[in-house]
């Protein structure tokens, strides 16, 4: 039976998954950490309970009187917001839709559903795969993104999915893989297989299928090695050089000299651009009065879940980004374009251009893997890898550190 006919689903290969984060209120996230601090200061400075409640925008999950513990790894107050809220929590990075690195106030009292089990394992060794729900077609790229920072679990279009960490414990311990999978692959391929190799193969060879992503598992060592090498590069690009062996150690992605994007006309320090356009003849990205070039056509055209990634990133930092905000604090936005945004934009252009260049190779490898012989569901069942035991679909049960619960009490893990 061929891999195409019998390929296992990603949900069986990386069995532990978590639904998307659900902040519950828009004002706790944004592209600028300074704005988040201003919003917190406005909430803390409210001089009566009614005003503070209006600014918080309470929900069924979070009110001024909700008592919750700290998010793992975050030193925030655990008393209710009705009293002294405490100091502003230091904003942390998170991946919105995979490609947009935004900021979040990591205070459990502000977030409806923060998924603490993910925060417990988010460290420098961790990688997260986001698999969003999609309508599968053979020609579609797989609905997958990889992030080195905590993702919100959604596609660039906002479609929900599942977050699949590579490891179930901090420090890169206990891989989130079907028990026995790496041993079977090593036996059939005649070479060692590490958890990171499996993730790299998934990013290169997974395809859209009914029920999620199908991942053909080859028995050809050469094909496996080519797929792992390609997947490592994709991981390296999507994590901005933070992970993966697909680029120079410790280096950020860069285009060759002569093709690197530069600021040709700077954005004004006051105000935000109202428009975002692309000049194909000049290969230029136009943001109001700002101009960045060269921007390869592949970077501008790069889509994920039907969304042009670069255009969506710019729209979130435009003059109209906060228009129609229903939350009072969400209406507090940046006064002007941040210099850090320019650096991030140049890097995003680079990443998207290189991903676009790699897409034909990934499409060809995906087709080769799907049509060739491989380890199918029947063999995985015969080897005892499938069905996945229930414990493999749960997070690690006991961790080796303490967490502060509501009111300063320590929680048992």
Decide which of 194 and 249 is more confident: 194
pLDDT of residue 407: 55
Tokens 């409806």 sit on residue: 112
pLDDT of residue 2: 44
Q: What is the rounded average pLDDT of the residues 166-187?
A: 97
Sign of the dihedral through C-alpha 160, 29, 327, 304: negative
Residue 346: CB atoms within 10 A of its CB come to 19
| Secondary structure element (H or E) that encloses residue 365, with its range | helix 339-371
pLDDT of residue 83: 87
- Cα distance between residue 151 and residue 358, in whole Å: 23
Residue 232: CB atoms within 10 A of its CB come to 22
pLDDT of residue 321: 87
pLDDT of residue 134: 73
pLDDT at position 140 over 70: no
| Residue 148 binned pLDDT confidence (cut-offs 50, 70, 90) | very high
pLDDT of residue 410: 47
CA distances from 301 to 37, 80, 290, 311 (A): 34, 47, 20, 9
pLDDT of residue 323: 73
Q: What is the rounded average pLDDT of the residues 65-80?
A: 90
Q: Considering the chain, what is the average pLDDT of its residues?
A: 92
pLDDT at position 409 over 80: no
Q: What is the rounded average pLDDT of the residues 145-167?
A: 94
* Percent of residues, the chain, with pLDDT higher than 90: 79
Q: Which of 46-55, 98-107, 319-328, 357-366 has the least mean pLDDT?
A: 319-328
pLDDT in tens, 262-309: 999 999 888 999 999 999 999 999 999 999 999 999 999 999 988 999
- Cα distance between residue 130 and residue 96, in whole Å: 11
pLDDT at position 248 over 90: no
């Amino acid at each position: 039976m061929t891999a195409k006919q019998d390929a296992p689903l990603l949900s069986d290969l990386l069995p532990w998954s978590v639904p998307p984060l659900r902040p519950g209120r828009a004002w706790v996230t944004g592209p600028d950490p300074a704005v988040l601090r201003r919003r917190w200061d406005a909430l803390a400075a409210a001089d009566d309970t009614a005003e503070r409640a209006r600014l918080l925008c309470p929900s069924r999950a979070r009110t001024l009187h909700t008592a919750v513990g700290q998010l793992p790894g975050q030193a925030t107050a655990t008393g209710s917001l009705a009293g002294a809220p405490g100091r502003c929590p230091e904003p942390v990075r998170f991946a919105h839709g995979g490609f947009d690195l935004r900021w979040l106030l990591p205070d459990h009292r502000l977030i409806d559903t923060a998924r603490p089990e993910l925060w417990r394992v988010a460290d420098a060794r961790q990688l997260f795969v986001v698999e969003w729900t999609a309508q599968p077609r053979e020609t579609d790229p797989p609905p997958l993104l990889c992030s080195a920072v905590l993702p919100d679990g959604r596609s660039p279009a906002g479609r929900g999915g599942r977050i699949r960490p590579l490891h179930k414990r901090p420090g890169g311990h206990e891989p989130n893989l079907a028990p026995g999978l790496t041993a079977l692959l090593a036996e059939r391929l005649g070479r060692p297989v590490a958890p990171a190799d499996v993730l790299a193969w998934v990013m290169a060879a997974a395809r859209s299928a009914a029920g999620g992503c199908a991942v053909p598992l080859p028995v050809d060592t050469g094909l496996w090695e080519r797929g792992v090498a390609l997947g490592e590069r994709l991981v390296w690009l999507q994590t901005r050089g933070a992970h993966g062996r697909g680029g120079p150690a410790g280096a950020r992605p860069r285009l060759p000299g002569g093709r690197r994007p530069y600021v040709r006309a700077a954005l004004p320090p006051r105000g935000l651009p109202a428009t975002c356009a692309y000049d194909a003849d000049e290969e230029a990205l136009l943001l109001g009065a700002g101009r960045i070039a060269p921007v390869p056509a592949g970077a501008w055209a790069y889509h994920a879940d039907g969304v042009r990634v670069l255009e969506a990133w710019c729209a979130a930092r435009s003059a109209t980004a906060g228009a129609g905000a229903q939350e009072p604090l969400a209406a507090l936005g940046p006064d002007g374009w941040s210099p850090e945004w320019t650096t991030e934009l140049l890097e995003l252009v680079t990443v998207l251009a290189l991903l676009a260049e790699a897409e034909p190779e990934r499409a060809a490898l995906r087709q080769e893997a799907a049509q060739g012989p491989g380890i199918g569901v029947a063999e995985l069942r015969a080897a005892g890898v499938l069905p996945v035991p229930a414990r493999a679909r749960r997070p690690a049960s006991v961790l080796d550190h303490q967490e502060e619960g509501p009111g300063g009490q320590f929680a048992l893990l």
